[in-house]
Amino acid sequence: MEIVQLIEPDRVSLGLEVADKSELLSVMAGKASYYSGIAADTILQALTKRESFGSTGVGRGIVIPHTAIKGLKSPLGFFVGLARPIDFESVDGEPVDLVFLLLTPPSSVNENVAALAAISRRLRDAEILKVLRTSKTAQEAFRWLTGV
């Protein structure tokens, strides 16, 4: 699986202003609701429940909140660059500024693992992280994120 299969250019945004983890998840749930037709509260509850098992902050300023959502027909991804880093209880204790939200149908465990692996592989590249952090437009970030 490739990131380009998970995300569209209009689901990439830069400069998002949020105060904390709770606000970030709420804003992301709203964005996901708009594109999926699933209630933002349903998505937020699922994301919050997933975070209760352990932070999805993977280190190096990256967080990959992910969860299965009943009623979703295919994986749905969103990328956001934050205006200012926030605490996300990441594994390395560092604040996060790059967010990739992944929502998947509950029945697609293998697809979920493949999608998370694709995101992780892409976000391990130091050059890509640098460009994502300095991109001036969402289109530029999309190109670097997806490699297209």
C-alpha 48/C-alpha 138 separation (Å) is: 27
Q: Give the C-alpha separation, 37 to 40, whole Å.
A: 9
Query: Which CATH class for the 3-146 domain?
Result: alpha beta
Please compute the mean of the pLDDT values over residues 130-148 and round it to a whole number: 95
Per-residue pLDDT reduced to its tens digit, 44-91? 999 999 999 999 999 999 999 999 999 998 899 999 999 999 999 999
Q: Is the pLDDT of residue 96 over 90?
A: yes
Q: What percent of the chain has pLDDT over 90?
A: 91
Six-digit token pair at 19? 């105060």
- With contact defined as beta carbons under 8 Å apart, do 129 and 99 qualify? no
Q: Is 69 exposed, middle or buried (0-12, 13-18, 19+ CB in 10 A)?
A: middle
Decide if pLDDT at 119 tops 80: yes
Q: Identify whether the C-beta of residue 72 lies closer than 8 Å to the C-beta of residue 38.
A: yes
99 conformational bin, left if phi > 0, alpha if psi -120 to 50, beta if neither = beta
Mean pLDDT of 12-24: 97
At 101, the amino acid letter reads L
Q: How confident is the model at residue 104 (pLDDT cuts 50, 70, 90)?
A: very high
Predicted model pTM: 0.95
Q: Look up tokens 């909140």; give the residue.
A: 65
Q: Domain locations in the chain?
A: 3-146
Contact 101, 65 (CB under 8 A): yes
Per-residue pLDDT at 107: 79
Give the type of residue at 131: V
Q: Please give the positions annotated as active site.
A: 66
